Amino acid sequence: MAERLTRGAVVERAAVLADDIGLAELTITRLGRALGIAPPGVYRHVADLDDLRRAIGRLAAREAAAALSTACAGLSGGEALAALADTLRAWAARHPGRYAALQIAPEPDDADGQAAAEALVAVIASALRAYRLDGDDLTDAIRLVRATLHGFVDLERVGGFKQPRGLDATVARAVAALDAALVGWAP
């Protein structure tokens, strides 16, 4: 007798499939085939494709938060920024579908999605603790770091850098620029 599927198992399989084929290519039909069930059976576990993508986003946020937290443990300042950048780049390269789902902000009434997103932001905030920022300064600094890293990761994922200079060297300079900006961030 086959093992009963759970929502968690369906979402995990969908995340793996999204990593393999891309989040945009993920469909209920493809997921059903990957699970070895008729596509209508997928609807026992998810309401629709949007629900599935949001669930992958929550999974991705938890996984990315864990990876970044581990990488940044005991580090501060520029070292923590470098760990954030390197770990996020590597994680996104291993999990492109999950990374794409991570960019879908949870709805305000999605308590689980909000909690997963907040945990990820808290890891970034913790990595920035050496800069002694709070309130709006911390919010803006987190947004700057996220936007910078996401821009780089996204361009790297789609092959947006064709120059011969190594990407690691560019990331190191971007991290140094973020560090310099954040050192002088607070008034």
> Residues in the chain with pLDDT < 70?
1-3, 187
Tens digits of residue pLDDT in 142-157: 999 999 999 999 999 9
Superfamily of domain 54-183 in CATH is Tetracycline Repressor, domain 2 (1.10.357.10)
Which of 31, 163, 146, 138 has its CA nearest to residue 81? 146
Distance CA 134, CA 132 (A): 7
Q: Which residue has the tokens 């986003």?
A: 57
pTM of the predicted structure, to 2 decimals = 0.92
The helix (run of H) or strand (run of E) holding residue 173 is helix 167-183
Could you state, in order of their start, the residue ranges of all structural domains in the chain? 54-183
Distance CA 168, CA 178 (A): 15
